[in-house]
Amino acid sequence: MLNQQMDQDYHISSWMIFLLAAACGLIVANLYYAQTLVGPIRDAIGLTSAAASSVVTVTQIGYVAGLLFIVPLSDIVENRRLTIYVLIVLIGALLTVAFAPSAPLFLIASLFIGIGAVVAQILVPFAAYLASEDQRGRVVGNVMSGLLLGIMFARPLASFMTSLWGWRAIFIGSAIAIALLMALLSLALPVRKPLPEVRYGKLIVSLGVILRQTPALRRRALYQACLFGAFSLFWTIVPLHLADSFGMSQTGIAWFALVGVGGALAAPIAGRLADKGWGKLLTGIAIVVAGLSFLLIHLFQSSSTLALLLLLISAVTLDMAVSGNLVVSQRQIYSLGAEARGRLNGLFMAIFFLGGAAGSSLGGWSYAQGGWSLTSLFGTILPLIALVYFLTEKRTAGTE
């Protein structure tokens, strides 16, 4: 009751929104730095070509594990203290990766980078907790903009820094940035101590109960899993497509990746519109836009300037669809209950992040089997699955 009352009465400051948005961006970027650096990392630590892709996979596994086993702690542990402890783990993992002399140590540290990066998913519900009901969508949208900017800037930033100082520089630099961020958050975050109504073991067991008894969570998670799967498929394979079909260098691919940053602008807009009750309409639009983004580049394939322009447009519209629907979904999920907000968010993020991992794997397989044509076809099918499910929402609204 105390938390619910504060949800209604507290008005978060613009400074705190900015701090939480910046923090989420800096933290979540650590999941994506290695994606464009697999080649130089492989050569430096002695990984085989077959094992090189595990650099990204292990980090993703750590992130999902953190979502399921660390994020729920925010429902029973004082949030500021939990944030600091997990950030210490992240800093240690980043420094270990930067100086790891062997592949096994590097991969173990990568696992803990994924675990440590879940702090972002402690801070997003924290922002929702600090916001009043009438500003929650806007606040979550602004904070998620920072998180999405972190995702989108991570790949080009890692490529640019590697070209100047080598691949270890990005991890050292990130460790320094996270350490400074930790100091700032320890001073700026207010105390939020939930009422520990259950023990940790029961808390984890309750995840299954919450998932089973919350149809809205399952529905929103499936929507976002399909969209994020398409997003991950696109950004995993488009660097290969740009190099193979357009002859782009690593620097050119990095510049292309910056185009996706524009998609983050959809997050705060979607948050404001969701506050006005337009959430369902926005979800439908997001799913359709994601599908059309892939359909466009599937139908028009060549090595022409027009094809490259269409890729650029699709990169922006796909990112806008994914980021916009993410904010709408999180706003709805956070309204399901303040006392279980950490577990709700952890389940939601874990499910849709698994969708992203599946999309990346599907992209790699399809590109090897049928090139960009098959890959873009699968990219079109994923939002189509979400659309079919979305069309059932009206008929089941009474029960969900």
Quick check: 83 and 189 in contact, CB under 8 A?
Answer: yes
- Please name the helix (run of DSSP H) or strand (run of DSSP E) that holds residue 54, with its range, or none: helix 54-69
Tell me the C-alpha distance between 192 and 129, whole Å: 9
Write down the pTM of the prediction.
0.78
Question: How much is the pLDDT for 10?
Answer: 55
Question: How much is the pLDDT for 258?
Answer: 79
Alpha-carbon distances, residue 350 vs 71, 189, 354 (angstroms): 10, 25, 6
Q: Enumerate residues 6+ apart whose C-beta is below 8 A from 165.
A: none
* Phi, psi values for residue 375, rounded to 5°: -65, -45
The CATH class given to the 2-396 domain equals: mainly alpha
Alpha-carbon distances, residue 400 vs 217, 301, 391, 396 (angstroms): 9, 41, 14, 6
Tokens of 260: 């996706």
Taking each helix axis as running N to C, give the angle between helix 54-69 and helix 341-390, from 0 to 180 degrees, rounded to the nearest 10. 120
Tokens of 336: 């399901």
CA dihedral over 322, 336, 5, 187, signed as positive or negative: negative
> Which parts of the chain register pLDDT below 50?
1-9, 396-400
pLDDT tens, position by position, 284-320: 999 999 999 999 999 888 888 888 999 999 988 998 8
Quick check: 129 and 6 in contact, CB under 8 A?
Answer: yes
Tell me the C-alpha distance between 323 and 335, whole Å: 19
DSSP secondary structure, 130-195, as one string: HS-GGGHHHHHHHHHHHHHHHHHHHHHHHHHHHHHH-THHHHHHHHHHHHHHHHHHHHHSPP----
Question: How much is the pLDDT for 52?
Answer: 60
The end-to-end CA distance of the chain, in Å, is 24
Q: Enumerate residues 6+ apart whose C-beta is below 8 A from 199.
A: none
| Residues comprising the chain, all counted | 400
Question: How much is the pLDDT for 241?
Answer: 85
Quick check: 295 and 380 in contact, CB under 8 A?
Answer: yes
- Please name the helix (run of DSSP H) or strand (run of DSSP E) that holds residue 353, with its range, or none: helix 341-390
Question: How much is the pLDDT for 2?
Answer: 36
Tell me the C-alpha distance between 193 and 168, whole Å: 38
Question: How much is the pLDDT for 40?
Answer: 79
Torsion of CA 107, 111, 113, 119, to 10 degrees: 180
Question: How much is the pLDDT for 169?
Answer: 95
Give the amino acid at 113.
I
Question: How much is the pLDDT for 53?
Answer: 59
User: Where in the chain are the domains?
Assistant: 2-396
Q: What burial letters (b/e) apply to 193-217, b meaning 16+ CB within 10 Å?
A: ebeeebeeeebeebbeebbeebeeb
Question: How much is the pLDDT for 388?
Answer: 95
- Please name the helix (run of DSSP H) or strand (run of DSSP E) that holds residue 1, with its range, or none: none
